[in-house]
Chains A and B, each alone.
Chain A
Amino acid sequence: MAFFEQHIHDAPKTFLSKYVISFDHKVIAKQFLWYGIIFLGIGGMMALMIRWTLAFPGEPFPVIGHFLFPNTNGVVPPDTYAMLFTLHGTIMIFYAITPILIGAFGNFCIPLMIGARDMVFPTLNMLSFWLAFLSAVLLLASLFTPLGGAAGGWVSYPTLSTTIGSPGVGQTLWCLAIFVLGVSSTMGAVNYIATIITLRAPGMGYFDMPLTVWGLWLTAILNALFLPVLGAGVMLLIFDRVFGTTFFLAGAAATSGSGDPVLFQHVFWIFGHPEVYILILPAWGIVSDLLSFFARKPAFGARSTALSMTSITILSTVVYGHHMYTTQMSPLLTQSFMMLTMTISIPSAVFFANWLGTIWKGAIRFSTPMLFSLGVVFVFGLGGLTGLYLATVSTDLYLHDTYFVVGHFHYTMAASVLLGGFAGTYFWFPKMFGRMMNETLGKIHFWISMLGLNGIFMGMMIVGYAGMHRRIYNPFVYEYLQKLIPINMFITISAITMGFGQLFFVYNFVNSLWNGPKASQNPWEVGTLEWTIPSPAPHYNFDIIPVVKCGPHEIGNPNLKGRDFQYQTEELA
């Protein structure tokens, strides 16, 4: 692939061009990081309100309850509860994880790790962030409409999400916000794909790319392919709501020629299943790299890790039906989808074994990023295994829409991705801001988060297995669920603990920005390209475009003298 060197631009001088309308991928990454962290806070607060309602139904939410819900003396009202779980899902997936893992790490890591001066389309990158910002404004505006924000679940199935189920403007704004965000993410994805294809440093083949870049690349491919599918779905939903088309109407509402609400489910999950891999792939990539970096060993089977991630990417496009076993699908179809879904466990097992192989007999350094990576190995293992029960038709019919599902996808999508995101934040913070984060606070943060989230999600699986359904305002009006009150209280207390644990992170993050010890060029002693330049990275990244001569995980080679790692720019020892 023909390589060409990007021009070095002058450093931006004004505040506006430096921090607001910036074309620099590193600044855009930080913008996305802040954006994601803020929404993580909002979404987390919503989660706490949901949990509070489930553990202490009818009691006012502490401290801010009276301010938020004055009409009910601080108790979360039922319609608001529906809005909360809808927006919690939407915000966490589209406005917290996507910006942090894909927006921030994608923007930051891709050019630095492949030895480029910037993304290939800087303007598109800038537009991508500001469209995401516009989308956030639309979403938050929906909260202030007369009937409140969207309340049809984050999947927004018709007919809950058509004008019959949600008459307010909130749902329309939600659809619009998701559409705009989809455009923004697609722009980012086009940029990432093109950057990785065209701007790799000379000598860097695809298998010389760090696995982080592999993960981000595969994510970008899935994004570019499947976000337009969701875009088409929500666009037709907007047409249904605004112009009166009848795509998703059914029964009495569509007396003249019939629409089909299930069509939306198909469209949604054709997008939705790849979406869960969109979220997890960057975390997998980051973890695959960090395990090797901190175990001081080459990544075990790095090539097969990359290939198994690729095969998961391909398989993820043909398994969406397992979300829809209960929609009267023909048994032939459900069984095919079950088979295909089960097939995913083969490549998953391959890279999972590679992770274990990487840390096997390693000289592990238990720094904070490593702790979080090991956390991902644990929670993803658990989350992945529970997925088998949901992929199997016969068990899924019982578990469908229970808290078991909630526990499962939080283990895989929330816990793993969150821990992976934290690992990445602690790891690249020195390169982003030129300072180190505090290790002690980081370790406290890790252990509280780990205990908290296992308490929450393990508890959810137990109550789900006991038959508690999701999205119910007060499950304890049903007699058979009343025995679950204590364990629900346990889950909520775990959630509050975990929420408090995040304060350590916020303090550590903000404090380290100004007061952290200055970072050296390569504090973690690893050899990928971003560590060959000063911390923080200068605006042009690389003075001279590096020439790559070996893979990213050349650590612990006995031929090395003086240090146990080598840079990718050095000949293999």
Chain B
Amino acid sequence: MTTLTATRPRLRGFTAESTFITRSLIHSIRDVEALLMAVVLPVMLMLMFTFIFGNAIDPSGGYVDYVVPGIILLCAGFGAASTAVAVSRDMTTGIIDRFRTMPLRSGAVLTGHVVASLARNLLATAVVVAAALLVGFRPSASFLDWVAAFAVIALYILAITYLFAAIGLAASSPDAASGYGFILLFLPYVSSAFVPVETMPEWLQWIADNQPITPVIETIRALLMGTPVGDSALWAIGWCVVIIAAAAIWGAWLFRRKAGRR
């Protein structure tokens, strides 16, 4: 009466990925507080920089046009940080073992987290852009410029999300993951996001000029405000691709090493 022949049906196409994306999206929606923080904090930051620091930094009143691209980027990083916590939580609870004892592509769970993060952050970015327009942000961008700007933002979100996902895998607990993530969120301050790099001390200029955030911001600024782009776009895309590749390799290695060894 017993049989050893019953099997799970084979999965077709991207069923596993789409199932995990649905799961992570539900997680994003249910975690109302994180979602609110991802939107409200960047908006508050933008208002603070525009109305409190803005006139001191640029008395002519044009600071809002300078700072918004940086705020957009800051906002993207904010929402991605919760990916580290989500991934770490998956790895430290038993659920990852259940997934790993099923015939699924091993990266499918992570794909779910990354795609959900992309959706979450693009939504937050749209809200921030809308708020910026309300407080006097006047970009000179054409429709195509906007599309290109959002493409660059999406690429940046993907890069930072992959990085946060890998950090989530490396961290020993969700709390630790959230701590490591915090360090990365400081990068935008040491870039051309809030003040021009030329106003910084020389040693800091070197860091600001050679870190990934600056070319990404300069590219977005060029697309939205029509400032000269130079080689920023190339650097921006290059940085993002390198970060994605490095994080993916590191992440895959961590995933194989850590899972099943709680």
A in complex with B: no
